[in-house]
Chains A and B, each alone.
Chain A
Amino acid sequence: MRHFLRRLIILLLTLWTTVTINFLIPRLMPGNPAEAMLAKFHGKGPMSPQALHSIEVMLGISSEGLLKQYSQYWVNVFHFNFGVSYTYFPYSVRHMIAQTLPWTLVLVGVTTVISFVVGTLLGILSAWRQGKIFSDMAITSLFTFTSSFPYFWFALLCAFFLSYVLNWFPLSGGNAGNMTPSLNFNFLASAAYHSILPALTILVSSIGGWQLGMRNNMLTALSEDYVTLAKARGLSEMRIALTYAARNAILPNMTGFAMSLGFIVGGSVLTELVFGYPGMGNLLYVAVQNEDFPLMQGIFLIIVICVVVANLAADIVNVFIDPRVRRAGE
């Protein structure tokens, strides 16, 4: 429990620091991006005083003292009030994020789970059959390669060969152009069809990490004394691999998985950009392209908050699955 409390305090502090960093970045940067931003807004049309004020608070253009700005900033953060988007004027940043988030949650969420499950199983397999041509050497070298290549490039090649040349998949977008998002079959089918290539790209780029990590943990676990003892007792290979070695080796991967859930919200910037997928990553890119600082700030804050919460979840998971962590705290 003490361990958990300590972690909780550290993570709350982390959350505080990251939000504060987010508060400071636009204020510390040389030049004044915020004022230029505000000038651009004037050309866009009339804006309510409240909207104007929340942008000023987010970006740090204010005659008020820094402390006053800071407390205002926190109030806005708690209300998810990040002001008005410059690019999508007059929509608010919150509105844009709410519209975009479901796309990313489904695409990146599903691929993260698949990637973790498949990668971990393959890691168990290749460590258990270490040195075998197919189940270890081929798989491990393949993933060594995929984990070190630029995945947006793989996405470009997929888009080129599978969509442009062969015409098997749509080239970009999240659904067929004439549809409005709703929960009917046609729309869902179209969305699923459009997400195949982005999902494939994310899977190819992320399975490797799980596989290589699991393989390393497994190899370490397989050389422990209790595994040798289990072998001496004549237990079946399968049982040793799964209930003796893998059960212990999976702990770091489980922690990693809980943490990676936090990254889902950020989407996959480069993949979404290549396929023009209407997710958070693409929204962040659009914000950067248009120097839409309110939108950028909002997205980054949401990402950071989710990541910190996921880290907390990882700690809780750890306390439950790893007795050593429990005992260390007592």
Chain B
Amino acid sequence: MNAFRASLIPFWRNRVARLGTIILCLFILMAIVAPWISPYSPQDSNFSEMLSPTLAHPLGTTQDGHDVLSQLIYGTRVSLLVGFVAGLGTTLLSLLIGLLAGYMPGVVDEVLSYVTNVFLVLPALPLMIVLAAYAPVKGEYLIVIVIIVTSWSWGARVLRAQVTTLRTRDYVVAARFSGDGVMRIMFKEIFPNMMSLVAASFLGAAISAILGEAGLEFLGLGDPNINSWGTMLYWAQNSGAMLQGQWAWLAAPGLCIALLGTALVLMNFAVDELANPRLRRN
């Protein structure tokens, strides 16, 4: 628990990162207390359609008569969850591949590095679209998988480079000579020494996961019946919210995605400073 607390301190000490942490916490809070702060149920479609913002509906209503504000508040849940899970999955996969490739020079490294390079070259969004289009079942699980498959490579390359410099350090050599197994050395000796790099690649992966999720949902490749920020934009676009003057419906979900993304970027400043002291301002 102490180590966990200690790892959170940089996010608070750096003033820029603190702002990001606060925004992220507000979103998490919003996702948790959604049933209590949301004015209506997000499924409730008994209101007039395409209402402009009023006191009763601060962000207006949709083409089916849903309350936009309620959808926005509940949408936090799916957007946060998908972003978090996809970001975490991406990081775990890059960590696994990076550790293996970095610690095992020779055939394992050559093969894994080669696969990494192939995926680095493949353009992410078109690949995501093509994969999602061929898949027989659409939905949030598919989005998570597609994001993980298309975005692990960058992290894997960075982490591999770090491992190759760590594996010849004295304490790693000592551990090897005292008979520790490969897994133990990788996860007990090497992994703790690249925590800041792993944290940075998690934040980066989460940002691109949240943006990727929004993009795929906006293209209609998610489950349009699920309530998230991306699908809200999909419906706003496809039901002519623009031509009906529904600016709040268009603006609000995107603003939330932008704020969440910015919060994570700001938190990354703290990690950057840990990893690269030259960026620290005196």
Contact = CB atoms under 8 A, between A and B. Distances in A.
Contacts of A157: 250-251, 254
B207 interface: yes
Interface stretch (A50-58, A186-194, A296-304, A319-327): A296-304
A29 B262 contact: no
A263 B131 CA distance: 18
A307 B279 CA distance: 32
B215 interface: yes
Contacts, number: 135
A308 interface: yes
A148 B219 contact: no
A150 B211 CA distance: 6
A90 interface: no
B27 to A, nearest CB: 14
Contact of B254 (A150, A161, A303): A150
A134 interface: no
Nearest to A310: B121
Interface residue tally on A, bucketed by range? 35 or more
B233 to A, nearest CB: 7
A35 to B, nearest CB: 13
Nearest to B137: A30
A312 B247 CA distance: 45
Contacts of A147: 265
Contacts of A14: 117-118, 121
A153 B122 contact: no
B265 A269 contact: no
A31 B136 contact: yes
A13 B113 CA distance: 13
Q: B132, B133, B257, B258 — which one has the most chain A CB atoms within 10 A of its CB?
A: B133
Interface in A193-237: 216, 219-220, 223
Interface stretch (A39-47, A61-69, A285-293): A285-293
A300 B126 contact: yes
Contacts of A159: 242
Nearest to A163: B242
Contact of A152 (B130, B215, B247): B215
B134 A307 contact: no
A274 B134 CA distance: 23
Contacts of B135: 29
Contact of B261 (A29, A148, A287): A148
A274 B242 CA distance: 11
A108 interface: no
Nearest to B213: A150
B126 A303 contact: yes
A269 B129 contact: yes
A10 B258 contact: no
A17 interface: yes
B192 interface: no
B208 to A, nearest CB: 10
A160 interface: yes
Contact of B250 (A29, A160, A216, A263): A160
Interface in A64-106: none
A308 B119 CA distance: 11
Nearest to A145: B262
Contact of B125 (A33, A269, A289): A269
A3 to B, nearest CB: 15
Contact of A269 (B131, B219, B245, B266): B219
A270 B130 contact: no
Nearest to A152: B218
Interface string B245-264: 10100110111011001101
B23 to A, nearest CB: 11
A135 B233 CA distance: 34
Interface string A135-175: 00000000011011110111011011100110000000000
Interface string A251-279: 00000000000110010011001100000
A160 B242 contact: yes
B131 A156 contact: no
Interface of A: 10-11, 13-14, 17-18, 25-26, 29-31, 33, 130-131, 144-145, 147-150, 152-154, 156-157, 159-161, 164-165, 216, 219-220, 223, 262-263, 266, 269-270, 273-274, 284-285, 287-289, 291, 293, 296, 299-300, 303-304, 307-308, 311
19 contacts: A10-B117, A14-B121, A25-B130, A29-B136, A33-B134, A148-B258, A150-B218, A152-B233, A156-B242, A157-B254, A164-B243, A266-B123, A270-B215, A293-B134, A296-B133, A300-B126, A300-B130, A303-B123, A304-B122
Interface of B: 114, 117-118, 121-123, 125-127, 129-136, 207, 211, 214-215, 218-221, 233, 236-237, 242-243, 245, 247, 250-251, 253-255, 257-258, 261-262, 264-266, 276, 278-279, 281
Given A147-B265, A153-B254, A307-B123, 7 more contacts: A14-B121, A18-B118, A26-B134, A153-B250, A156-B236, A273-B219, A288-B221
